[in-house]
Structure 1
Amino acid sequence: MKTRLIDREVVSYFSKVKLLYESCEKSRDGTKEYHNAVFVGYDENGVPCHAHKRGLYTEGTGFKGNVDSCDPAYSFHHIGTDNRLYVFEAPIDLLSYITLHPKDWQNHSYVALCGVSEYAMLKMLELHPNLNHVVLCLDHDEAGIEASEKYHDLLTEKGVSCDRELSIHKDWNEDIKANHGLPAIPAEEHPQHLIRDEICRELTETAMTVKSNYSANTLSALLVKARSYLHWGQFSEADECLREMCRLSVAAAAREYRQMDHSRDIAAVQERLRDGFKTYENRGHLKTRLDLLESDIMSLRGFERVVTASEKEKLAECYERIAANGLKGTILLEQQRQKQEQRQSLAITMA
């Protein structure tokens, strides 16, 4: 079995309560035996409804996956006595986390999604109303980050308190390996977060040099230029147009808040822009994002008159939406540019 370094007492506990066992299965031709760790999930009546298999192997990549016809709402889990539910992608991550955080672990509740579907997490909250604080412990990679952001918003909308814990390496089992001096797969930051942070740093550095013309006509002209540049494949020029829209819109929102004696200054607007960005909301096409920008800019024209205090706040929020969609568009454009460079580099390599 590949070294997992899971605490033996933890494995023993889950084995005793029949949530974990080892299977031995023959190959179709009967010449080989396959040993798997099987993680079982029971429903509220104690009926097994889910099984996740993980191959026990000595080298290479082993089998892992859910048994056919499993109910995803009842995957591998443990229910404790307090109000905290810890959520993981895989059972091995769950056991690894407990190994790393053994103090009073049985008091808490844990669920492995056996993927990145939210069904099991929501079922646990439905069946156990005392669970009102969720800690998301998904993988430290692109898929895990997107799922964590999505679930955080989903739980917040339901009024459930939610935190997030990140492993130092790719997942909690990799952290255990690193603690024992073994090679560990490193964490993978989300590429859109890296681009977001670079853009937001630039916005902070140039905030005081932004022009004073924040009109709908100015923003509309920049959008027209960006579309034209994209049509001709001039990505750098299009990128600068979108960044300028972000700068102008952030400054405009801060100005409107300032005129209302609102405590939200330009630094606060910039922070809201950065923290409000969610990767799972930015999967679409760049054209769709530009269309949303156009719609937001059109909304500005409804404020081209003397406005009331309440309307000023709506105007500021409209500028913030433009900045948010401009940021998302810039990120999509940068990813598109990076992919084009990778294709060109590959073509040169293969030539």
Structure 2
Amino acid sequence: MEWFTSLATTDKAIKAALIIHGVALVGTVLLALDQWRSECETKPPQPKPQYITQDTEDALKLTTLDTLLCHYNHAIRETAVKIVCDRAVNDKDTLDQLLWGITRPNYDERMKNLRALAVITDPRESIILHGVTNDRLTITQDSLDKLHTWKAYAALVRSLELSLDPDQEVLDSDDWDEYPLRDMTEKLCLMFISQLVNTFDCEKLVKAKFVEKWLSKQNWGNTEDERQQNFSAYLRSKTNRLAEIMNCIRRSPAGREALQKCGLFPYSDVEDSEPDNDDTHLVERFGVLFPETLDVNSLDANHPTRVLLRSFQTTQTGEDQRDRNQRHREAMVLNDGSHPVTSDDIIQRDPASPA
């Protein structure tokens, strides 16, 4: 009986051990299957940043950039172009080499360097693929700062000087614009100069003798009067880049002086004329206020009488200007509503007619 009780106890212990080992085995298998499933699961890639840091750009070697320039992906190729152009425009030796190249007498060499200079200052994919075929480029501000130097202005003027056309026709026609027919080297140089003077000023351009070396050598005519008339008509009727540069130079005192020395701008122009300072005429007009023996020419510039005369002159000039502006504003519009208003429907008062 005792033997049977001992056997039953042993049998229960074996069953309990088997159950425990079975549960442990099943748990181990389930855990292993879960880990295997996790390892085999395909996870979506984590989003990567869509920008390239400056450190990454600087770390790229030239061989790597050369490979990226030929990549089939347009975005990668465009990024590589921008990196190459940024390196070139910020490298002083490269920029100096290109500026030296645009002053070479050989036309092909000069054109090649001008195209390269245009590419690195406006690194667009269309320029790389199709070449620079026009002057409608927009130079970045950083590139303009690099080109706003005496060396760059002198190189551009020299390149223009080498592009002069000895058989150019007289610029005396208001009906058509010769600018699109100019040589590409001239248009590229004028493109650079136009954006530079519009962003900064024309002082360095004038000091580089742009007026003396190129502008005055354009075929404005034979006589001085003809040259001045054609120059004035060109400013009035044209809207190209050359006219923009000429207007900027004309508004500058140094530029206007250079134009006058070259015979393109009259010394007696209205803009340069000084206001009437004839104090004697004012003394005669307001003689009741001053003694008959007054000699205005012998008075000091700060004398109260001269100060009073200047105040009279300023008042008179202001009234005359207001009267002229009023006459210029007066106009009559004749239109019965059957067609849009045009310039032919507007009748203005003749400025020469009395008020």
TM-score (norm 2): 0.28
Which has a greater percent of helix? 2
Structure with the larger RCO, 1 or 2 (CA within 8 Å, 6+ apart): 1
TM-score (norm 1): 0.28
Which has a greater percent of strand? 1
